[in-house]
Amino acid sequence: MADEETDADAKAEAVPRTPRGTGRRLHGAIAHKLGTAIVSGEYAPGDILSSEVVFSEALDVSRGAYREAIQVLAAKGLVESRPKAGTRVLPRLRWNLLDPDVLAWAFAGEPDKGFVRNLFELRAVVEPAAARFAAERRDREELRVMKDSLAAMRRHSLGTEAGRAADRDFHDAILRATRNEAMIVLSASIGAAVNWTTQYKQRARALPRNPIPDHAKVYDAIAAGDGDAADAAMRVLVDLAFEDTRFAMPE
């Protein structure tokens, strides 16, 4: 235990100092810093984090702000704190990997290849079925949102934040059109996965391919009420997005 605490203390001291601040913005920044370190593997499952005194001094923040950040991480399943035992990093299977913040932390550095594959496998299961249901159940307003989102993607391109926001809106509208509450609750997670993988693909180079026509085929099938075509078009969209992401990852 002593060796673990010594290693953790050294890591804490190596973290660059963060300017002082107050409130939610400060503890959110601390949670981002620690969450990124945990998800990237800098802290491994089972590691004991330094005491709040050591960390708060290393980060130049109040102990209260640090405690609030730990509460954020605990709520997402990354750590647990126990009296006298300290704060321990939990096994990966306990993490809420679909939490939008955890997804953001995963893509803050170089994401784990297995994790990226898992995300796309989830999308390949959920989104084609969602497109099929949307084709059968969508209403006029949901079609309008999809159409407007598609137009915004064309206008701004996915190389801009505005274009990526439109992309998230497009996928969100499809999930909402399923009328399936269990699918709709995945909207934030699917949207975050779409956003971060799209940004990741553009870090070192332009997008290898324009994916907007793939989205248009999904929309056309949903607008036509063709569930089979919507399912097939979304499956192609997700499969090609995975190939683009794999292309962007280092060997």
Give one DSSP letter per residue of 139-201, joined into a string: -HHHHHHHHHHHHHHHHH-TTSHHHHHHHHHHHHHHHHHTT-HHHHTTHHHHHHHHHHHHHHH
**CB under 8 Å to 242, separation ≥6 — which residues?**
117, 120, 124
- Are residues 201 and 246 in contact, defined by beta-carbon separation less than 8 angstroms? no
The SS3 of residue 79 is strand
Tell me, what's the pLDDT at 7? Answer: 52
Contact 215, 163 (CB under 8 A): no
Angle between helix 227-248 and helix 187-201 axes, rounded to 10 deg: 40
17-50 confidence digits (pLDDT tens): 444 444 557 778 899 999 999 999 999 999 999 8
Q: Which of 181, 159, 182, 158 is nearest to 170 (CA)?
A: 158
| Packing angle, helices 140-156 and 161-177, rounded to 10 | 160
CB neighbourhood size of 172 (10 A): 20
The CA distance from 238 to 91, in Å, is 29
Contact (Cβ atoms closer than 8 angstroms) between residue 48 and residue 1:
yes
End-to-end CA distance of the chain: 37
pLDDT score of 15: 47
Average pLDDT, the chain: 88
Give the three-state DSSP class for 91: coil
Q: What is the pLDDT of residue 14?
A: 46
pLDDT for 78: 98
Low-confidence ranges of the chain (pLDDT < 70): 1-24, 204-205, 251
